[in-house]
Amino acid sequence: MDYLSTSYLEILCILFFTLTIFFGYFCIKFALIIINIQETVEECLNIIDEKYTKIISILEIPLFFDSPEIKRMLSELKDVKLSILYIANRLSPKDLRFKEEKEDNDESDQKKG
């Protein structure tokens, strides 16, 4: 009887070890995929941030032409600016957003004070 129970324990240990290696492999594989996606999102957010600052600088230029097409284009550009800001806020981690907002508030408080 002891030999039979020891044999079952050995088989169970081998089975659990095999399962651990199997699941460990996939955990590492998926972790690497998540890290790659995170790096890609960060790169995209940097590009979005650059384009957002360019759009803001364009929108700050006064408009001297009263054509409806130009006014419509300016309105669409403002919508694009808001869309870019929305996308960037949705893709960025909340902790990072709150940290940046706090830093912005601290800077504005220092300028006022």
Written as one letter, the residue type at 44 is C
pLDDT at 96: 59
Question: With contact defined as beta carbons under 8 Å apart, do 81 and 55 qualify?
Answer: yes
pLDDT at 3: 65
Residue 16 has pLDDT above 90, yes or no: yes
In whole angstroms, what is the distance from residue 101 CA to residue 104 CA? 5
Instruction: Give the residue among 72, 96, 81, 76 at the shortest CA–CA distance from 51.
Output: 81
Per residue in 65-93, pLDDT (tens digit) is: 777 777 777 788 888 888 888 877 777 77
Mean pLDDT, range 41-58, rounded to an integer: 81
Question: With contact defined as beta carbons under 8 Å apart, do 74 and 63 qualify?
Answer: yes
Domain assignments of the chain as residue spans, ordered by start:
2-112
Model confidence at 6, pLDDT cuts 50, 70, 90, reads: confident
User: Cα angle at 39 between 78 and 35, to 5 degrees?
Assistant: 140
Written as one letter, the residue type at 8 is Y
DSSP result, 37-72: HHHHHHHHHHHHHHHHHHHHHHHTSPP----HHHHH
Mean pLDDT, range 7-19, rounded to an integer: 92
Q: Give 77's contacts (C-beta < 8 A, 6+ positions apart).
A: 55, 58, 59
